[in-house]
Structure 1
């Protein structure tokens, strides 16, 4: 028995928010002081570091659970399964449903319960629950689904990563330009086909690193102190990721028994273009080998950072030949890897 991804689906919102849209924003330092650079310079520097030229925002009437539902429908159709046969629905997110023009998180009921309801699944033994694991949430959901299947507790699971980060950003913070909305979904099931999950790795660093990402006040000191927004210490996250993600990827690949030269694609969480490129360099440096061409697909330039949705969305795009110069062939070995709030890191070696 092998445990494979038998169906994928993603939902990429239609609304495109280009960098030009931020020209009128009042960006401030964390202490509320004015940044002594025009917005054009701030945005140009931002693009040079992150690679982001535009991002996607959900339409006002749609919430994260809606995006997850749309992605789930597509994954179910791709796998050609009856949704009533699902044993688990695992939904990774960070902030639940946040209605447009509000800041309050709504997770009652869970997003997984809402998506199961929207799918009109009657099977009461289809267990629906959420997972809070930062940006690596979808990968961790896949690892959990594999564990359920290995333990004989499930045969088929739906794992979703969905987020509407545009609704929890501080418009006075330059980091607000990083975040976006979207959803990706996968069907994970036991199959007799070759391939599947070969190895996985997860670690949580919380002793010193727990609050590198957090909920904090606006940079605008005049706004309500009771309202919080997503905040991060970008420099510490960058250094943490460069030190720890390549090691986790290597540990996972070594456990799989696959040679580094046989890896065809590496799907890294789309957090920051420069950071992902640096992680890739560090990873290949551990094996003292050159980086192959077209090994790392990237979507951050046009889709931004949608947290838990980036990896499954990227995988779905490549699988369906929707990303230029990238494709997959049966038997290809790929690596999924992520890092995020917690701080958590994880990786999966997977044979397509």
Structure 2
């Protein structure tokens, strides 16, 4: 029996650390350009209490999204032990392409996936490289697509990457800018005939809500009236995103778990997109309440947002890599463990995957 399993992971974590106190001299404004009636240190303290973020990583000036993606990809290839020339497809999830420091024009031609293939030195023309734009759930959607392609007979080894340099498209006058970070994560999904029964991807669920929800996360002008109005920055309607996620993510997670045929009591670990600590905790609690369980098990949800921030598509693959390598204290995986991935982001899009490790 063959299953599609993750045989290798990799990540690139930038070395440039930006701590909360580094924003003490920032001037944060309301959407209408007026100043807050709180001191900056009070804004930062409240931000930490809500998001859990104490520091985040920004890409070094010489590295782009495609370069970080290549670093993470090479690590995943080395970890899996595969021959890179046997990769059938390279799927790269991102949202803004390659952004140079100080510029706000996304560079997406050629695709980031094509650039990754080039940087990896893969010669095989049958290795197809393309990008996925699906908001923060992009890497997980790429994993779902890879699983479907393998099942359809369109290849046996897929490289799935999530990469982003959000620090280069944030409005410094927007307090939400403190949420965003940079990084890259990758995995190798491989069709294996020697896998254990039920190992690999068991089920998936996805949804897109694109009516009034479509603009909850978008590009908008700076909150400073002295900034060029033609420049677009990442903007987020935080309260609406929170309410949307809390209502819909737990339902998608339940749909995914029910499709797998497994019991909620089997779940060993849940990897949720590292967007906001309070939001993730609320999503987890609401998910368990759908099964009549008032509180989720302790230590079922590993977190990295406290020191890595929200790097969008890179958060889940990076977190998975860190857990697999024993870098997240109190969390480890063993063969046979049932885990779940879940994400939410711009679109608005949601997805979930059940996976037997």
TM tier, shorter chain?
Answer: over 0.9
SS at match of 2:34: coil
Kindly indicate whether residue 197 of structure 2 is the aligned counterpart of residue 210 of structure 1: no
Q: Residues 103-149 of structure 1: CA distance to partner in whole angstroms, max 9, x if unpaired?
A: 11000110000000000000001000000000000000000001110
Distance 1:260 1:326 in 2: 18
Output the aligned Cα RMSD. 0.5
Name the stretch that deviates more: 66-75 or 288-297. Answer: 288-297
Pairing of 1:1-352 with structure 2 (within 5 A):
1-192=2-193, 193-194=195-196, 195-289=199-293, 290-352=295-357
Distance 2:315 2:227 in 1: 31
SS at match of 1:106: coil
Report the alpha carbon displacement of residue 220 of structure 1 after superposing the two structures with TM: 0.2
Report the alpha carbon displacement of residue 39 of structure 1 after superposing the two structures with TM: 0.5
Distance 1:101 1:82 in 2: 38
Distance 2:222 2:101 in 1: 18
Report the alpha carbon displacement of residue 101 of structure 1 after superposing the two structures with TM: 1.4
SS at match of 2:134: coil
SS at match of 1:27: coil
Report the alpha carbon displacement of residue 5 of structure 1 after superposing the two structures with TM: 0.6
TM-score w.r.t. the length of structure 2 is 0.98
Report the alpha carbon displacement of residue 49 of structure 1 after superposing the two structures with TM: 0.2
Report the alpha carbon displacement of residue 222 of structure 1 after superposing the two structures with TM: 1.2
SS at match of 2:259: helix
SS at match of 1:46: helix
Report the alpha carbon displacement of residue 288 of structure 1 after superposing the two structures with TM: 1.1
SS at match of 1:218: coil
Q: Residues 25-55 of structure 1: CA distance to partner in whole angstroms, max 9, x if unpaired?
A: 1110000001111110000000000000000
SS at match of 1:43: helix
Distance 2:263 2:116 in 1: 39
Where does the alignment leave 5 or more consecutive residues of structure 2 unmatched?
none
SS at match of 2:115: helix
Report the alpha carbon displacement of residue 293 of structure 1 after superposing the two structures with TM: 1.3
Q: Residues 320-340 of structure 1: CA distance to partner in whole angstroms, max 9, x if unpaired?
A: 100011110110000000000
SS at match of 2:343: strand
Aligned residues: 352
Distance 2:184 2:119 in 1: 15
Distance 1:15 1:158 in 2: 27
SS at match of 2:103: coil
Report the alpha carbon displacement of residue 244 of structure 1 after superposing the two structures with TM: 0.3
Tell me which stretches of 4 or more aligned residues in structure 1 moved more than 6 Å.
Answer: none
Distance 2:174 2:212 in 1: 24
Report the alpha carbon displacement of residue 58 of structure 1 after superposing the two structures with TM: 0.6
Name the stretch that deviates more: 286-295 or 136-145. Answer: 286-295
